[in-house]
Amino acid sequence: MMSCKDVSRLVSQGQDRKFGFGERIALRLHLAICAGCENVERQMAFLREALRKLGAEQNDPER
Amino acid sequence: MPPPTDFRAQIEGQRDYLLRFATLQLRDAHAAEDVVQETLLAALTGAASFAGRSNLRTWLTGILKHKIVDAIRRSSREPSRPQEELEGLSEFDSLFDERGHWRERPSPWESPEGAFEQQEFFTVLEGCLEGLPAKTARAFMMREHLGLATEAICKELDITPTHCWVLLYRARMALRQCLATRWFGDKDPEAR
């Protein structure tokens, strides 16, 4: 069973590489029962979106 | 293709945008100025290769990204201290107890997308980015701002994939903490 510490690292790596089947299942199982890690996963995805918008925001001379 | 003088003016018109783009990655006004200058020069001499492309900014940004990576490559030849940078992983260990559970469970952010409507959010985000250690920020911005794959980042920074993932993890953990405190933390969700 993975700890939250392991999962937080894996969630970050999920932004950067494809997981194997086993890793994917273990991660999904953990996230299904752990609200803290699920929040971190959402927030890391949000960070990616925010960085994309930060670039786009500069794109727009009106802002 | 537009006449040369017109083309030059159009390119020059993108300078401010390119400067901001480069500064976000390089965090150094002079270094950013240099790569933008190189980019504008390359664009002028390579004007013919723009013919037929629809978006000048996209084309220029593509050139700029290469110039930025070149600049990073030059600067990473300087002696680095990998030990120091790798120590960063343990800096988040204090968030977990001895069994690896959260000491304080991360709370959800209420409708985070709403932040994108507010200019102030991006100021806070930039402030958080500036707070990251140099190498951590560099790897993170290469990933998220330049959109490079981790393999490319490892190669340019001359680090292992594991080290690269450590830097990206550290950046994301630090940024989510920073945003939680400075943006999502004390704000009343009802007021947003």
pLDDT of residue B7: 85
- Nearest CA to A16 out of A43, A42, A63, A48 is that of A48
Set of chain A residues whose Cβ sits within 8 Å of the Cβ of B110: none
Residues B86 and B170 in one domain: yes
Residue B186, SS3?
Answer: coil
Cross-chain residue pair A4–B112, CB shorter than 8 Å: no
Query: Measured between CB atoms, does B99 come within 8 Å of chain A?
Result: yes
Domain stop point among B22, B48, B76: B76
Residues B86 and B166 in one domain: yes
Domain stop point among B76, B99, B123: B76
The residue among A8, A11, A42 with the most chain B CBs within 10 A of its CB, best to mutate, is A8
B100, B116, B145: residue with CB nearest A6: B100
- Nearest CA to B139 out of B170, B168, B181 is that of B168
Which chain A residue shows the shortest CA-CA distance from B20?
A: A58
Cα–Cα distance between A4 and B100 in angstroms, integer?
Answer: 6
Instruction: Indicate the range of A18-22, B67-71, B89-93, B188-192 predicted with least confidence.
Output: B188-192
B110-132 per-position pLDDT tens digit: 889 999 999 999 999 999 999 99
Residues B51 and B98 in one domain: no
Are the CB atoms for B62 and B146 separated by under 8 Å? Answer: no
Query: Measured between CB atoms, does A15 come within 8 Å of chain B?
Result: yes
Domain stop point among B37, B56, B76: B76
Would you state the structure tokens that stand for residue B21, as one six-digit string?
Answer: 């783009």
A7-63 per-position pLDDT tens digit: 999 999 999 999 999 999 999 999 999 999 999 999 999 999 999 999 876 545 444
pLDDT of residue B188: 42
B139-159 per-position pLDDT tens digit: 999 999 999 999 999 999 989
Residues B19 and B47 in one domain: yes
Would you state the structure tokens that stand for residue B74, as one six-digit string?
Answer: 């030059």
Residues B64 and B90 in one domain: no
State the smallest CA–CA distance between residue A22 and chain B in angstroms. Answer: 19
B127-139 per-position pLDDT tens digit: 999 999 999 999 9
The answer to whether residue B93 scores a pLDDT higher than 90 is no
pLDDT of residue B88: 55
Q: pLDDT confidence of B91, banded at 50, 70, 90?
A: confident
* Predicted structure pTM score: 0.85
The residue among A18, A19, A43 with the most chain B CBs within 10 A of its CB, best to mutate, is A43
pLDDT of residue B186: 47
Beta bridge partners of B102: B96
Backbone φ and ψ for B169, nearest 5 degrees, come out as: -60, -50
Residues B27 and B60 in one domain: yes
Number of domain units in chain A: 1
pLDDT of residue B4: 66
Which structural domain, as residue segments, surrounds residue A53? 4-59
Cross-chain residue pair A12–B173, CB shorter than 8 Å: yes
Domain containing residue B22: CATH number: 1.10.1740.10
Which structural domain, as residue segments, surrounds residue B97? 82-191
> How high is the mean pLDDT of chain B?
87
Cross-chain residue pair B169–A12, CB shorter than 8 Å: yes
Query: Measured between CB atoms, does A51 come within 8 Å of chain B?
Result: yes
Beta bridge partners of B96: B102
Cα–Cα distance between A36 and B191 in angstroms, integer?
Answer: 24
Residues B68 and B151 in one domain: no
pLDDT of residue A63: 41
Domain containing residue B139: CATH number: 1.10.10.10
Cross-chain residue pair B24–A12, CB shorter than 8 Å: no
Residues B66 and B121 in one domain: no
B21-60 per-position pLDDT tens digit: 999 999 999 999 999 999 999 998 887 778 767 789 999 9
Compute CA distances B154 → A20, B60, B161, whole Å: 21, 25, 6
Residues B24 and B99 in one domain: no
Residues B123 and B159 in one domain: yes
Residues B125 and B86 in one domain: yes
Number of domain units in chain B: 2
